[in-house]
Amino acid sequence: MIKMHSGGCQCGAVRYRINGELMRPHICHCRMCQKAAGNYFMSLAGVAKENLEVTRGEISWFLSSDPVRRGFCSACGTPLAIDTMAEPVIHMTLGSLDNPDSVHPERQYGIEARVPFFDKLPALPGTTTEGDGEEDQAFLEQIRDTTHQHPDHETETWPPVTKGGAW
C-alpha cells in the first residue's frame, strides 16, 4: 500500500502531497539547520522527488551552499524542504505535515551542534496551549477568532474566505 502525506506552510500559500514512503526521518542539530529553522533543530524526512507534488503555490528557494537549497514559503516564511540538488531525494520538514505525528524521527544528525541542555527539555515545567489563567484565555480566544493559519487539510480556495478571520 502506498502511503500518502499532505502538508504545507502556515498560511496555506504552499501546499504539497507526498505519494510514497518518507525515508530516514530524523532530527538535524547542525548549525545550518538551526539557523534555517530558527530553532534548536530541524526535523526532516526524505521522499523521492518524483513522489512530491506541489498542489498550491510554489516553494521559494535559498541556496544555503552550492549543492543544497532550502525551500520555504515566501509569504509566511515556513521552512518546507531541503534539496540536495544532485540527489533524487528531497527532505521535507516533518512539522509542515498535516499530521506531523504520523512520522517519528529515527535518528539524529549534527549532534556536535546539539544544544547542551537538549536532554533537559522534557523535565521543564509546561502547560497546554490553553494556558493557565484568565488573561491567557482572553488572549487565546482573540487568536482563535482572528487566526490566519491554514488548517491541517486541503481547502478549495486560498486565500480563504473567512468569517471573523477563522476558517
Q: What is the spatial distance between Cα 24 and Cα 15, in angstroms, rounded to a whole number?
A: 22
Can the peptide bond before residue 105 be classed as cis, meaning omega within 30 degrees of 0?
A: no
Of the candidates 62, 59, 63, 34, the residue with the CA atom closest to the CA atom of residue 49: 59
Domains, the chain, ranges and CATH? 4-123 (2.170.150.70)
pLDDT tens digits for range 147-157: 777 877 888 77
Task: Report the predicted TM-score, pTM, of the whole model to 2 decimal places.
Answer: 0.85
Residue type, 83: D
Per-residue pLDDT reduced to its tens digit, 95-117: 999 999 999 999 999 999 999 99
Which residues contact residue 43 at a Cβ distance below 8 angstroms, ignoring those fewer than 6 apart?
25, 26, 27, 28, 93, 94, 95, 105
- pLDDT tens, residue by residue, 26-78: 999 999 999 999 999 999 999 999 999 999 999 999 999 999 999 999 999 99
Cα atoms in the Cβ-side hemisphere of radius 13 Å centred on 53: 9
Q: CA 54, 95, 73 angle in degrees (round to 5)?
A: 45
Closest CA to 67 of 85, 48, 82: 85
The residues, ordered by sequence, that sit 6+ positions from 42 with a Cβ below 8 Å of its Cβ are 27, 28, 33, 34, 36, 79, 82, 93
Cell 530541524 -> residue: 42
pLDDT at site 1:
52
